[in-house]
Amino acid sequence: MAKQPKNAQSKPVSQSYWSLVWWKFKKNKLAIVGGIILLVMYFSFVAIPEFIAPYALERRSEYTEARPQTIRFVDQEGKFHLRPFVYGLERKVDMVARRRSYVEDPNRVYEIFFFTKGDPYKLFGLIPTDRHLFGTNSDDPAASVFIMGTDSLGRDYFSRIMYGGRLSLMIGLIGQFLTLLLGSVLGAISGYYGGTVDIIVQRLTEFLAAFPDIPLFMALAAAIPTFWSPIAVYFMLTLILAFVRWGGLARQVRGLILSLREREYVLAAKSFGADDSRLMFRHLLPGTMSHIIVIATLSIPGMILSETALSWLGLGLRPPLTSWGVLLQEAMTVYAIRFAPWLLWTVPFLLIVIFAYNMLGDGLRDALDPYGAR
Amino acid sequence: MLNYILRRLGYAVIMIVLVSFVSFVIIKLPPGDFLTQKMEQLRARGDRSAEARIEEYRIRYGLDRPFIEQYTGWVTKFIRGDFGESFEYERPVKDLLGERLTMTVILALATLIITWVLAIPMGVYSAVKQYSIGDQLISIFSFIGLGMPGFLLALLILYFAIVVLNQEATGLFSQQYVDAPWSVERVIDLLKHLWIPALVSAVTGTGGLVRIMRGNLLDTLGQPFVEAARARGLKNSTVIWKHAVRMAINPLIVILGSEAFPNIITGNALVSIVLNLPTIGPLFVESLRKLDMYMAGTCIVFFTMLLLIGNLAADLMLAWADPRIRLE
């Protein structure tokens, strides 16, 4: 990004396109907030979830479907403690409903410490360590801290949401990247060369558009063999998401290229002897960049949601892979909603990501047209 | 005009044939079929005669024949109105879909009416009173609706209904009314359940429509013919509703055809699954998971048909509503 002069009004210097964009973007507070939320979320969910989560992904405890433990500062006598603490969980069996549940036992107090030792892991996949952001710092297995409860196997749900975020958030980025690659290259070729290539690409996008997209997703995802390794399933799913969605983008890029192709600067470049690839990648595609960025930002949430929906239906990722959609599978039954509603904690995280992307994308759309009146 | 319609219909037929073939291929892609899945189940249960029974099924459903023969056999029957048999239910696909069709259409129409009745006045108000508090509130609401995925909202509302209101919230009827004949009580019971899907669609469906209506009307209100109407001394409401809205509503007609119409059957399959509604959507998802191929294929072909017909209807309606548009 070019540096913004302190007083843009008094210095009539000409501004580059990108510095104008940045200037306009900065004024949109909602977009800035969205961008910061996304940066923080991507950093904590993709880079360091092992550190933030108090437990390892598959670490089981004896507390199955335990309710969340409230983090407290004030004890029973009404005394305020600077160090937060939780009450221990105690099993209670409801003979009538034949259910086990857990209640907090105010007599067992476990203080929460920061940067405690816990399950070992490798930070960034490289540095072996066992420090976690918070925990009870006790070897007693009853000294648990489940701030969002546990699932039916007694695994800490907050930790699972942290790990699940990595796959869910990454599939949005990787899938969108592949979509962009497919859509912009095919769109550009089709718009630039015209003729037979154009007709083939056009018909292909029309055919994809004629397929109702949710059923197409489902049908393709259902075709992933069940015996494939989880990683292969993950990449296949990403490919499917990209494959279904590139058509719309290709059409828009094609339209833009068609209009740019006739501009004088392209003619000038051509007369200087620029070859096709130079024209396309140096002169034409950059012209469509701002448009592509906006579309990309606004369609990443759709990508993330498609993965969530497919995995949740049992057509996408499967355990042992953990994504937010896989986590939601457990929250699907009326039984779960009634007796273990904390399994819905995944939903707020998803919604925050989606709204943050929408806020950012909206700001970008306004900013990338800095010459516009709005 | 007739020429145009015929050409579009011919194009649609080619498209449907292609789509049906491709969907057949896709369903055939995963190794194994419904019967191999079933055989594993039978074996796991320790059924010794599994192999023989599966072989019997294989011949009955024609799964022993080559792929092309299976496809052509299904298509020729399809044209005659026989959509094949569902492996899972061992009943004709036609009956299974027919049972759920009424409820699917009722729900879709209810959704459609709710979203449009809410969205158009909200959009108009928002544009006429631009930057007022009401406009700001409507804008916030519509942005939330635009971003909010229906099935997540349905999950949240379900949580609210079950945990906070302590209400039985899934399905369309309470236990005792599911098979009961229509009566006043049954309708009341239906309404008690209908509010959740209605609310979901009101939030998620209106957002986009409100934004489009608002944007178009703002553009239209600035045009000279609106000023001319005002100058002639027409009432404000007449100017807005008869002159401006009449023009600004055209893009919504396209949406009605290309999105709302196909939705009659796709009708938010995900929301239906969360809320356990007796519509076609969940049936379709189930059939994909079980590789129940005639069921899945029939559903896909119908989706595509509705989509294509909807698009054509949208273009025709637009030409009818706005005579300046020429189709050729």
Q: Out of B23, B144, B269, whose CB is closest to A214? A: B269
CB spacing of A341 vs B288 below 8 angstroms: no
Half-sphere exposure of B251 (CA within 13 A, CB side): 14
pLDDT at B183 over 80: no
Locate tokens 């037979």: which residue?
Answer: A196
Dihedral (CA of B41, B45, B50, B53) sign: negative
Q: What is the pLDDT of residues A270-327, one digit of tens each?
A: 888 888 888 888 888 887 887 888 888 888 888 888 888 888 887 778 777 888 888 8
pLDDT at A10 over 60: no
B11-19: long-range pairs with CB below 8 Å, 24+: B12/B305, B12/B308, B12/B309, B12/B312, B15/A207, B15/A210, B15/B304, B15/B308, B16/B301, B16/B304, B16/B305, B16/B308, B17/B75, B18/A207, B19/A207, B19/A210, B19/A211, B19/B300, B19/B301, B19/B304
Locate tokens 């699907």: which residue?
Answer: A332
Q: Out of A210, A226, A354, whose CB is closest to B308? A: A210
Phi, psi of B251 (to 5 degrees): -60, -30
CB spacing of B274 vs A219 below 8 angstroms: no
Dihedral (CA of A143, A147, A149, A153) sign: negative
CB spacing of B156 vs A347 below 8 angstroms: yes
Higher pLDDT, A3 or B87: B87
Q: What is the pLDDT of residues B275-293, one digit of tens each?
A: 888 888 888 888 877 778 7
CB contact B293 to A (< 8 Å): no
Instruction: Give the pLDDT score at B267.
Output: 60
Q: If residue B85 lies in a helix (H) or strand (E), which one and from where to where?
A: strand B85-86
Q: What is the pLDDT of residues B295-309, one digit of tens each?
A: 888 888 888 888 888
Instruction: Give the pLDDT score at B265.
Output: 64
Q: Out of B155, B162, B262, whose CB is closest to A347? A: B155
- Cβ within 8 Å of residue A104, ≥6 positions away: A69, A70, A86, A87, A88, A89, A90
Instruction: Give the pLDDT score at A373.
Output: 42
Phi, psi of A113 (to 5 degrees): -115, 155
**Which two three-digit tokens encode residue B28?**
């055939």
A335-339: long-range pairs with CB below 8 Å, 24+: A337/B155, A337/B158, A337/B159, A337/B162, A337/B163, A338/B162, A338/B163, A339/A65, A339/A99, A339/A101
Phi, psi of A373 (to 5 degrees): -75, -30
- Residues in chain B within 8 Å Cβ distance of A338: 162-163
As a whole number, mean pLDDT of residues A164-190 equals: 87
- Residues in chain B within 8 Å Cβ distance of A243: none
pLDDT at A7 over 70: no
CB spacing of A223 vs B29 below 8 angstroms: yes
- Give the pLDDT band (50/70/90) at residue A6: low
Instruction: Give the pLDDT score at A1.
Output: 44
CB spacing of A225 vs B148 below 8 angstroms: no
* Mean pLDDT comparison of A92-96, A164-168, B50-54, B170-174, highest-scoring range: A164-168
Instruction: Give the pLDDT score at A287.
Output: 79
Half-sphere exposure of B233 (CA within 13 A, CB side): 0
CB contact A236 to B (< 8 Å): no
Tell me the C-alpha distance between A227 and A233, whole Å: 9
B159 to chain A: closest CA residue: A337
How would you write chain A as a 3-class SS string?
A: CCCCCCCCCCCCCCCCHHHHHHHHHHHCHHHHHHHHHHHHHHHHHHHCHHHHCCCCCCCECCCCCCCCCCCEEECCCCCEEEEEEEEEEEEEEECCCCEEEEEEEEEEEEECEEEEEEEEEEECCCEEEEEEEEECCCCCCCCCCCCCCECCCCEEHHHHHHHHHHHHHHHHHHHHHHHHHHHHHHHHHHHHHCHHHHHHHHHHHHHHHHCCHHHHHHHHHHCCCCCCCHHHHHHHHHHHHHHHHHHHHHHHHHHHHHHHCCCHHHHHHHHCCCCHHHHHHHHHHHHHHHHHHHHHHHHHHHHHHHHHHHHHHCCCCCCCCCCHHHHHHHCCCHHHHHHCHHHHHHHHHHHHHHHHHHHHHHHHHHHCCCCCCC
CB contact A223 to B (< 8 Å): yes
Interface probe, candidates A310, A347, A362, chain B, greatest B C-beta count within 10 A: A347
pLDDT at A181 over 80: yes
Q: Out of A219, A224, A332, whose CB is closest to B296? A: A219
Phi, psi of B200 (to 5 degrees): -60, -45
pLDDT at A372 over 60: no
Chain A with chain B: Cβ pairs closer than 8 A: 100
Q: What is the pLDDT of residues B21-56, one digit of tens each?
A: 887 887 777 666 677 777 777 777 766 666 777 777
CB spacing of A224 vs B30 below 8 angstroms: yes
CB contact B321 to A (< 8 Å): no
Instruction: Give the pLDDT score at A153.
Output: 79
CB contact B258 to A (< 8 Å): no
Closest C-alpha among A190, A174, A186, A247 to residue A216: A247
**Which two three-digit tokens encode residue A82?**
């600077």
CA distance A181 to chain B (A): 24
Instruction: Give the pLDDT score at B264.
Output: 67
CA distance B59 to chain A (A): 23
CB spacing of A212 vs B262 below 8 angstroms: yes
List C-alpha distances in Å: B159 to A215, A333, B269, B276: 27, 11, 19, 14
CB spacing of B148 vs A351 below 8 angstroms: yes
A346 to chain B: closest CA residue: B152
Q: If residue B103 lies in a helix (H) or strand (E), which one and from where to where?
A: helix B93-128
Domain range summary for chain A, segments of one domain joined by +: 62-150, 161-367
Q: Cα(first)–Cα(last) distance of chain A, in Å?
A: 22
CA distance A313 to chain B (A): 8
Half-sphere exposure of B75 (CA within 13 A, CB side): 16
Instruction: Give the pLDDT score at B125.
Output: 92
CB contact A354 to B (< 8 Å): yes
Q: What is the pLDDT of residues B64-107, one digit of tens each?
A: 777 788 888 888 888 888 888 787 787 888 888 888 888 888 88
CATH superfamily of A161-367: MetI-like (1.10.3720.10)
Q: Prior bond to A215 cis, omega within 30?
A: no
Instruction: Give the pLDDT score at B48.
Output: 66
B57-71, B111-125, B245-259: the lowest-pLDDT one? B57-71
Average pLDDT of chain A, as a whole number:
80
Closest C-alpha among A243, A216, A219, A226 to residue A317: A226
In a 3-state reduction of DSSP, which class is residue B92?
Answer: strand
pLDDT at A213 over 70: no
CB spacing of B300 vs A215 below 8 angstroms: yes
Helices A346-367 & A285-313, crossing angle to 10 degrees? 170
Report which residue type is found at A5. Answer: P
Average pLDDT of chain B, as a whole number:
81
Do B273 and B282 form a contact (C-beta atoms < 8 A)? yes
CB contact A310 to B (< 8 Å): no
CB contact A232 to B (< 8 Å): no
- Residues in chain A within 8 Å Cβ distance of B296: 219
CB contact B152 to A (< 8 Å): yes
Q: What is the pLDDT of residues A96-106, one digit of tens each?
A: 667 777 777 77
Helices B93-128 & B184-221, crossing angle to 10 degrees? 40
Tell me the C-alpha distance between B82 and B75, whole Å: 9
Q: What is the pLDDT of residues A40-75, one digit of tens each?
A: 999 888 888 888 888 877 777 777 777 787 777 777
